[in-house]
Amino acid sequence: MPAYQTEKVLPKKAYPEAEGWEYLEGSYLKRSRSACVCITCQHFDYSCEKDYMILLTCQIQEQLIPHREPLNSRCPLWHKRIESQINQSPEVS
C-alpha cells in the first residue's frame, strides 16, 4: 500500500485587520425572529485569526459580532444578500 503525503491546509485570512476590531455593542443589535438576521446580511463575513478561532465580522461597521448573535439579531444597516438576486452562491464558484 503506497504511503500518501498530506499537506496541512491553513485557512486564508480574509481580513487580517479584523483581529484588532472591537465588538459591536449589545444594545446596537436588535433581536429578530425573521430571516433578516446578521448571518443573512450582505455585510456579514468571517475570517480566522492566528489561533484558528473564527471571527464573525460586519464589514460595513468594521466591528466583530459576538458569537450566537448572527443567528437571532440584526442591526439597522441589514441589507439583503446580492447572491439571492442573481441566483448564485459564492460557495459554488
pLDDT confidence of residue 7: 63
**What is the pTM for the complete model shown?**
0.64
Domain residue spans in the chain? 17-74
Q: Distances in Å between the alpha carbon of 11 and those of 20, 39, 50, 52, 55?
A: 19, 20, 10, 8, 12
pLDDT tens readout for residues 24-80? 887 888 888 888 888 888 889 888 777 778 888 888 888 888 888 888 898 888 888
Query: What pLDDT does 82 receive?
Result: 75
Q: Using one digit for the tens of pLDDT, what is the confidence trace for 33-44? A: 888 888 888 889
Residue 57, beta-bridge partner list: 45, 64
